[in-house]
Structure 1
Amino acid sequence: MRFGKIEYLNLLPFDVCIKAYPLPSYIKKCILLKKSYPAKLNQDFLFGRIDAGFISSIAGYDSHYAHRACPSGIIAKGAVWSVIVKKGSGFDYQSDTSNALSQILGLQGEVLIGDRALVFKRSGGEFEDMGEKWWERTGLPFVFGRLCFRAHGELIGRISRVFNKRYATKRKKIPHYMLAAAARRSGLEPWYILEYLEHIFYAMGSKEKQGLERFYREVRLRRIKRPSRA
């Protein structure tokens, strides 16, 4: 199985879940091996280079309506910290969904996502939090990424259910050695990473689906181009 995973701190709990999940070691290696930024994984998924993964919501449009997406995502219910717009200009080459969201919200500035956004926030720079702006506008969660599949849907579905159940709480338990490694890689303190993870949710419920479909409707109305193989 070829699995793609966003290489950001927001999926650190998923790494923990996979390490504990009863799978053959070669499958675990496959799941944890292919890591990249969201826009690159979008292309890998659309061109069939990966079978499943956490895909940016805008690239998961067809999977959502074809029922080839699991009830797991990368979700904000208000401020998210890691998807921001700072003063400046330009889109973030790493994220298709966040660039689309900045257009929908009418935000002017440079889009930053993931660990780069967290480092900027930690430094005290001025920014607008897109998760917070979406919540203020709609009262709905925003789904930044979705666990989608082209194959191995039954296995991915089982993993999704276990993952959602294990991380249904606001506070995320991360083994010390994994937290320390993430802190070294990102340059952020362990306590700050844990505080950030309290702003991330994973289980897709009715409100989350409403938020996702509201986003899709805005994309259609504004004729924002979705990622494609073209």
Structure 2
Amino acid sequence: MLHSLAEADLRPREARCAQPASDHWRRTATRVGAVSYLNSKPLVHGLSSILPDDRFRLDYPSRLADDLAAGQLDVALIPSVEYLRNPEYSIVSDACVATHGPVLSVKLYSRVPIGDIRSLALDEGSRTSAALTRLMLAERYGVIPRLEQLPLSRSTADSECDAVLLIGDRAIHPPAEEFEAVWDLGEEWVNWTGFPFVFAMWVARPGAADPALSRLLSETRDMGVKSIDQIAAAEAAGLNISERTARDYLRDNLHFRLGSAERKGLELFRELLEPLQLIPGSRSGSAASRS
């Protein structure tokens, strides 16, 4: 059975470990992976100067999830659905990527009315957003489409499917094509359920959680949130967006703390996914501790 998210070890920093987190991590062999998208920059701001180069890397969320499952990483910022699928994983920080409304970087583009979707191309980098899309199509419209994968190097124009899911930095740019309907998945979820949606969180494999881990990741998040202007200035040009767009996205569309409302939203996500068998690796029933 899944543990109660409210029981994750989110104790005050001083209660966990008095040792400076950066010194601790320089001496450990823990392999850490984080998402390369703009939405995760506040969670990793400065980590590359703390963690050894050979123990820290950035990648797409789906690849990080696979590497964590394969034992090639010990701790990773992974899609929330992958945490729900594996009862052995534990949350190791209150830092996360969540939204309380429109998220901007997770979009469903449909060439037909939503209820008429029969084929769906899913962004190769997506796991949580793919499950969320399938959940809302099934629950709200009774739609169970044929699925295809959209490679990371391709765009909506390369797919003939009725609808295409895009996530991450490329989803911030609207496609040139006109669509019958466009969903911002964060906005759709919040309007539907009233809860925030958690896209990713820091998760550890069994035995990889460390007394200093939560403090390091939480402090990194706190510093990153304070540095949003700096992050936006550094990242905007490479993404072909304005600094204002990058800043507003990080400040207004995203939320980086896993609080009680976020944990309730995550529990509801699990409860809705299980009857549809969209998290086949999870254990049904009431929540149980995995912290």
TM-score normalised according to structure 2 size: 0.67
Unaligned runs of 5+ in 2: 1-29, 112-119, 142-161, 283-291
CA distance in 2, matches of 1:209, 1:49: 27
Matches within 5 A, 1:109-148: 109-120=163-174, 127-148=182-203
What code does the residue aligned with 2:72 have? Answer: R
Residue 125 of structure 1, CA deviation = 6.0
SS of residue in 2 equivalent to 1:74: strand
Question: Counterpart in 2 of 1:104?
Answer: 135
Q: Taking structure 1 as reference, are residues 185 and 168 closer, same or farther at Cα in structure 2, changes over 3 Å only?
A: closer
Q: Does 1:39 align with 2:59?
A: no
SS of residue in 1 equivalent to 2:45: helix
Q: Does 1:14 align with 2:43?
A: yes
CA distance in 2, matches of 1:8, 1:66: 23
Question: Is contact 1:85-1:129 (8 Å) kept?
Answer: yes
Matches within 5 A, 1:1-230: 1-18=30-47, 23=50, 27-30=51-54, 33-61=56-84, 67-88=90-111, 89-106=120-137, 109-120=163-174, 127-150=182-205, 151-166=208-223, 173-175=228-230, 178-198=231-251, 199-225=253-279
Cα deviation digits, residues 103-151 of structure 1 (max 9, x gap): 1111872110000100227x79652100000000110000000111121
What code does the residue aligned with 2:202 have? Answer: L
Q: Taking structure 1 as reference, are residues 70 and 155 closer, same or farther at Cα in structure 2, changes over 3 Å only?
A: same
CA distance in 1, matches of 2:210, 2:127: 24
Q: Taking structure 1 as reference, are residues 131 and 72 closer, same or farther at Cα in structure 2, changes over 3 Å only?
A: same
Residue 190 of structure 1, CA deviation = 1.4
Question: Is contact 1:168-1:203 (8 Å) kept?
Answer: no
Indicate the RMSD between aligned Cα atoms, in angstroms. Answer: 2.7
SS of residue in 1 equivalent to 2:169: helix
Residue 65 of structure 1, CA deviation = 7.2
What code does the residue aligned with 2:32 have? Answer: F
What code does the residue aligned with 1:135 have? Answer: V
CA distance in 2, matches of 1:212, 1:72: 14
Residue 159 of structure 1, CA deviation = 1.7
CA distance in 2, matches of 1:58, 1:39: 10
Q: Determine which structure has greater relative contact order: mean sequence separation of CA pairs < 8 Å that are 6+ residues apart, divided by chain length.
A: 2
Question: Is contact 1:180-1:190 (8 Å) kept?
Answer: yes
Residue 40 of structure 1, CA deviation = 0.8
CA distance in 2, matches of 1:5, 1:227: 23
Q: Taking structure 1 as reference, are residues 148 and 124 closer, same or farther at Cα in structure 2, changes over 3 Å only?
A: same
CA distance in 2, matches of 1:217, 1:144: 16
CA distance in 2, matches of 1:61, 1:10: 21
Unaligned runs of 5+ in 1: none
CA distance in 1, matches of 2:242, 2:225: 24
CA distance in 2, matches of 1:224, 1:19: 35
Question: Is contact 2:106-2:171 (8 Å) kept?
Answer: yes
Greater radius of gyration (CA): 2
CA distance in 1, matches of 2:61, 2:77: 8
Cα deviation digits, residues 149-172 of structure 1 (max 9, x gap): 121432321123314444667xx5
Between the two proteins, the alignment pairs up a number of residues equal to 217
CA distance in 1, matches of 2:43, 2:259: 18
Decide which structure has greater helix share: 1
